[in-house]
């Protein structure tokens, strides 16, 4: 008789434990489901800052699968660094097609390098241009350099170089400002030497100290 009650009590305790576990799992699932993509992005960044890359990727993926373009770009970046190049290209493409400038620039870089996809300089140039047109300053730098040196399949075109450098200056990009100032100071990119213009550009730089010589 006592054994029967003992077994009954044990079964009751087990049932109670299972119920508690199930409730906890459901509450966790509901809590995660209630998170917005922006919440997940914030949590992912916190995990990344703590060097918990696995958790960061998991959280970015959840936000990315919810259609959040910045999360798609960030996930692609981490996958690219993990050498999961084909997956990175797929997520960069989703972000780029959703209009995300980081996604466009990331996809352009993959096309330019031929990572995760066949090298395609024309597509790289197209996506870099679209990113730059959205104000993405690293893409502006890439285009300025490409037109200066004939990269990405472009012919050398100093007018285009100067155009993208000016766009970078307007966006307060330090590199673009330094490069254009040097061009004026040294008479590069088909420009006449104009130390006054160079000095005006240098005054836009952090510290506002005009160069007296070469801008490096």
Token match 């960044």: residue?
45
Residue-wise DSSP of 2-68: HHHHHHHHHHHHHHHHHHHHHHHHHHHHHHHHH--HHHHHHHHHHHHHTT-HHHHHHHHHHHHHTT-
DSSP 151: G
Q: What are phi and psi of 87, to 5 degrees?
A: -65, -35
Q: Which of 30-34, 48-52, 54-58, 71-75 has the lowest mean pLDDT?
A: 30-34
Query: What global pTM score does this model have?
Result: 0.79
Segments making up each domain of the chain, as ranges: 20-134, 136-216
C-alpha angle 124-111-71 in degrees, rounded to nearest 5:
95
Average pLDDT, the chain: 87
pLDDT by residue (tens digit) across 92-103? Answer: 999 999 999 999
CATH code that applies to domain 20-134: 1.25.40.10
Q: How far, in Å, CA of 131 to CA of 85, rounded?
A: 20
């Amino acid at each position: 008789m006592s054994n029967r009650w003992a077994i009954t009590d044990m079964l009751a305790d087990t049932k109670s434990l299972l119920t508690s576990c199930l409730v906890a799992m459901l509450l966790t699932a509901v809590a995660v489901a209630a998170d917005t993509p922006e919440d997940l992005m914030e949590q992912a960044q916190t995990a990344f800052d703590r060097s918990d890359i696995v958790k960061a990727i998991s959280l970015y993926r959840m936000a990315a699968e919810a259609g959040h373009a910045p999360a798609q770009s960030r996930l692609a970046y981490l996958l690219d660094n993990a050498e999961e190049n084909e997956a990175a290209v797929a997520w960069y493409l989703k972000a780029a097609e959703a209009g995300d400038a980081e996604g466009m620039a990331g996809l352009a870089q993959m096309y330019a390098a031929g990572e995760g996809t066949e090298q395609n300089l024309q597509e790289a140039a197209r996506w870099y241009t679209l990113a730059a047109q959205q104000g993405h300053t690293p893409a502006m730098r890439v285009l300025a350099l490409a037109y200066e040196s004939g990269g990405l399949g472009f012919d050398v075109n100093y007018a285009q170089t100067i155009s993208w450098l000016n766009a970078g200056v307007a966006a307060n990009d330090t590199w673009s400002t330094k490069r254009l100032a040097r061009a004026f100071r040294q008479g590069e990119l088909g420009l006449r030497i104009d130390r006054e213009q160079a000095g005006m550009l240098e005054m836009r730089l952090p510290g506002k100290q005009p160069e007296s010589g070469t801008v490096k």
